[in-house]
Chain A
Amino acid sequence: MGTTVVGRLAPPVRRRSRPWLALGLGLGALAVVVVLSIAVGASPTTPGQVWDALVAPTGAPSDVVVRELRLPRTLLGILVGAALGVAGVLMQGHTRNPLADPGLLGISGGAAFCVVLSTTVLGVTDVFGYVWFAFAGAALAALLVFTLGAASRGGPTPVTLALAGLAVSELLLALTSAMVLGEGPSLDAYRFWAAGALDDRGAALTLQVLPFVLLGLVLAIANVRALDVLALGEDSARGLGQDVTRARLVGLVAVTLLTGASVAVAGPIGFVGLVAPHVVRSLVGPAHGRLIPLAALVGAVLVLAADVVGRLVVRPAELAVGIVLGIVGAPFFVALIRRRMVKL
């Protein structure tokens, strides 16, 4: 009897306030880091110079720095961050593994390996050429990790997947290093790229990978409802009429596109795919319709913020985004594992 009364007084079944708050916060943070990313760098610029460069460029050196270096770099950072954040949501959703991340599961490593293979062995030099190798490497690594993880008794659990990912990552890293160390001239370029960096690669680069990232994002959004039921386990998802194989395939293609594109332009950047989904999940819960757009936003904020920090800490030199994120991300990873172990 009591419960019936409570039922009538209960608030409406669905509530939508907090996602908007999170979206507002995310957009605010993005605005801040975008401004910083355009205004801050190795060569000192005054706010006035930045403003002039944006609204009334005259061809002054500061105009060139802002318009041709910082602006494209900022756009590239947004693109890469969004791609990695969403790839992380997809991977965590499909593996139901809170530790999944394109870097940890070897997907970035696969993409990086194939990119290096294409440049050192086949002599491919432009991004449009090696982005395909990045996709191929990402897809192969994903298949390898999932096959290894699933081959163990009891199927792919968070632990078997993480271990398989670790093994594949290490193997690919070793192979990549071996290839690069044999090739003197490519070493410097590789060192920079492999650290995961945004640099003055120009607007053309952003435009080249944009279609792939957009396609990946569209597929990720198409995957939302499937991910929501897959979160209840495969049996429940099948029982609810979900074609699990098709959903997995869409997810795999999306992860491959997003990770491959970002590795091709910025090298393997870790932890964004791990951190962004967790931050968003703690704000808006586990519904993928909210997770995916917000993880894109948070991923972009993380990458841009790390890039700005990297430009400031060792001025006038720069610390690569991947390194900054590694320094911040590693403790986050440890904290995450500790929290989960305490709960278990």
Chain B
Amino acid sequence: MTGAARLSAQGVRVGYGDAVVVGGTDGLDLDVVDGTVTAVIGPNGCGKSTLLRTLARLLVPRHGHVLLDGRRLDAVPSREVATVLGVLPQDPTAPEGIRVADLVARGRHPHQRWFRQWSADDEAAVAEALAWTDMTGFAERTLDTLSGGQRQRVWISMALAQGTDVLLLDEPTTFLDLAHQVDVLELVGRLHRERGRTVVMVLHDLNLAARYAGRLVAMRDGEVAAVGTPHEVLTEDTVRDVFGLDARVVDDPVAGTPMVVPIGRHRPATGRTPVITGVTEDAPG
């Protein structure tokens, strides 16, 4: 594997109860390339979130281990990990009536001690995180009064205030409409470009993943099926292997990244004749 990796999984096997969800055959290896946005993709139940949660030390692997800066994750105090590695869970909850600024301030938790309470550094980090996500104007609002997209910005602000070099996001775009999905992913892209953060995120939408991630990890049945740039991973063969979906892969007309177009069976009567090469059955009339 090329490139430095501060965070990596070494032969991890993870499961719940009797079922092994990730790394069933001989453990899963993965290097998270520094300073890159990595998207983990794959069908439902393939172990994407399980892998992310393992990298985030929310799950403890049965075999193998996760390395952070050359040390085993379970050997480093959790608070110390939290200054390097930030996590945004899939469905974070907030107490009723919490103000945006107070929620973002909780991102400073790992930097505080009982003898070192709220400081000017913390204040500055919160203000900057809010400004960076354009949420400063909402600082005094309560979270319940915001839209889904705004809330996700607040959660990202919290992760930013934590000030970690590595950020793990578990499906940051779920429950958002397309415009807000793009909005959140633009934010993630800026994190990488302007801040040099390393981001790993689980995404469902392949086209958005290809657009916003420099590196894709495709998973199937708890194993890594393909790793590489979007062009390397999102091929028609891989999509068929991993998702069991026949699709054309064309270049995204806007960004030039690969775009997956499912073939399916249904053809609406548009009056246009689509050009589908390589598919003989079910040709449109």
Q: List 5 A-B contacts (CB under 8 A).
A: A7-B137, A228-B109, A236-B88, A236-B89, A240-B106
Query: Which residues of chain B are within 8 angstroms of A231 by Cβ–Cβ distance?
Result: 93-95, 98
Asked if A11 contacts B140 (CB within 8 A), the reply is yes
Query: Which residues of chain B are within 8 angstroms of A183 by Cβ–Cβ distance?
Result: none
Given contacts A11-B140, A232-B93, contact A222 B101 (CB under 8 A): no
A285 CB-CB contact with B under 8 Å: yes
In the docked arrangement, what's the CA distance between A11 and B114, Å? 28
Given contacts A6-B137, A13-B127, A285-B99, contact A239 B82 (CB under 8 A): yes
A225 CB-CB contact with B under 8 Å: yes
Query: Which residues of chain B are within 8 angstroms of A236 by Cβ–Cβ distance?
Result: 87-89, 92-93
In the docked arrangement, what's the CA distance between A143 and B88, Å? 30
Query: Which residues of chain A are within 8 angstroms of B136 by Cβ–Cβ distance?
Result: 3, 6-8, 10
A153 CB-CB contact with B under 8 Å: no
Asked if B87 contacts A239 (CB within 8 A), the reply is yes
Query: Which residues of chain A are within 8 angstroms of B57 by Cβ–Cβ distance?
Result: 238
Chain A, Cβ-Cβ closest to B123: A13
Chain B interface residue count, CB cutoff 8 Å, equals 46
Asked if B92 contacts A232 (CB within 8 A), the reply is yes
B112 CB-CB contact with A under 8 Å: yes
Given contacts A225-B109, A228-B106, A239-B56, contact A13 B126 (CB under 8 A): yes
Query: Which residues of chain B are within 8 angstroms of A13 by Cβ–Cβ distance?
Result: 101, 105, 123, 126-127, 130, 139
Asked if B82 contacts A281 (CB within 8 A), the reply is no
Asked if B78 contacts A232 (CB within 8 A), the reply is no
Query: Which residues of chain B are within 8 angstroms of A240 by Cβ–Cβ distance?
Result: 82, 106-107, 109-110, 162
In the docked arrangement, what's the CA distance between A222 and B113, Å? 11
A96 CB-CB contact with B under 8 Å: yes
Q: Interface residues, chain B, CB within 8 Å of chain A?
A: 53, 56-58, 77-83, 85-89, 91-99, 101-103, 105-107, 109-110, 112, 114, 123, 126-127, 130-131, 134, 136-137, 139-140, 162
Chain B, Cβ-Cβ closest to A229: B109
A286 CB-CB contact with B under 8 Å: yes
A243 CB-CB contact with B under 8 Å: yes
A241 CB-CB contact with B under 8 Å: yes
Query: Which residues of chain B are within 8 angstroms of A228 by Cβ–Cβ distance?
Result: 106, 109
**B-facing mask of A201-223, CB < 8 A → 1, else 0?**
00000000000000000000010
Asked if A233 contacts B89 (CB within 8 A), the reply is yes
A170 CB-CB contact with B under 8 Å: no
Query: Which residues of chain A are within 8 angstroms of B109 by Cβ–Cβ distance?
Result: 225, 228-229, 240-242
- Known pairs A13-B127, A285-B97, A286-B97 / 13 extra A-B pairs, C-beta < 8 Å: A7-B130, A7-B134, A13-B123, A13-B139, A229-B106, A232-B92, A232-B93, A232-B94, A233-B92, A238-B58, A239-B89, A241-B78, A286-B96
With both chains docked as a complex, state the minimum distance between the C-beta of A309 and any C-beta of chain B, in angstroms: 30
Query: Which residues of chain B are within 8 angstroms of A68 by Cβ–Cβ distance?
Result: none
Asked if B134 contacts A239 (CB within 8 A), the reply is no
A32 CB-CB contact with B under 8 Å: no
With both chains docked as a complex, state the minimum distance between the C-beta of A259 and any C-beta of chain B, in angstroms: 23
- Lowest 3 CB-CB distances: which A-B pairs, in order? A241-B82, A239-B87, A7-B136
With both chains docked as a complex, state the minimum distance between the C-beta of A153 and any C-beta of chain B, in angstroms: 12
A4 CB-CB contact with B under 8 Å: yes
With both chains docked as a complex, state the minimum distance between the C-beta of B43 and any C-beta of chain A, in angstroms: 23
Asked if B101 contacts A235 (CB within 8 A), the reply is no
In the docked arrangement, what's the CA distance between A179 and B102, Å? 50
In the docked arrangement, what's the CA distance between A231 and B158, Å? 14
Query: Which residues of chain B are within 8 angstroms of A14 by Cβ–Cβ distance?
Result: 101-102, 105, 123
Query: Which residues of chain A are within 8 angstroms of B107 by Cβ–Cβ distance?
Result: 240
Chain A positions 236-286 with a Cβ under 8 Å from a chain B Cβ: 236, 238-243, 281, 285-286
Chain A, Cβ-Cβ closest to B96: A286
In the docked arrangement, what's the CA distance between A338 and B31, Å? 51
In the docked arrangement, what's the CA distance between A132 and B211, Å? 63
Asked if A3 contacts B134 (CB within 8 A), the reply is yes
**B-facing mask of A5-23, CB < 8 A → 1, else 0?**
0111011011100000000
A287 CB-CB contact with B under 8 Å: yes
In the docked arrangement, what's the CA distance between A11 and B53, Å? 37
Asked if B123 contacts A233 (CB within 8 A), the reply is no
With both chains docked as a complex, state the minimum distance between the C-beta of A217 and any C-beta of chain B, in angstroms: 15
In the docked arrangement, what's the CA distance between A12 and B107, Å? 18
Query: Which residues of chain B are within 8 angstroms of A238 by Cβ–Cβ distance?
Result: 56-58, 78, 87
Asked if A241 contacts B102 (CB within 8 A), the reply is no
Asked if B139 contacts A243 (CB within 8 A), the reply is no
Asked if B110 contacts A285 (CB within 8 A), the reply is no
Asked if B78 contacts A242 (CB within 8 A), the reply is yes
Asked if B95 contacts A241 (CB within 8 A), the reply is no
Asked if B110 contacts A241 (CB within 8 A), the reply is yes
In the docked arrangement, what's the CA distance between A233 and B98, Å? 14
Query: Which residues of chain B are within 8 angstroms of A3 by Cβ–Cβ distance?
Result: 134, 136-137
Counting chain A CB atoms within 10 Å of each CB, the highest count among B56, B130, B139 belongs to B139
Query: Which residues of chain A are within 8 angstroms of B140 by Cβ–Cβ distance?
Result: 10-11, 15
B87, B97, B123, B137: the one contacting A235 at CB < 8 Å is B87
With both chains docked as a complex, state the minimum distance between the C-beta of B95 and any C-beta of chain A, in angstroms: 4
Query: Which residues of chain A are within 8 angstroms of B106 by Cβ–Cβ distance?
Result: 228-229, 232, 240
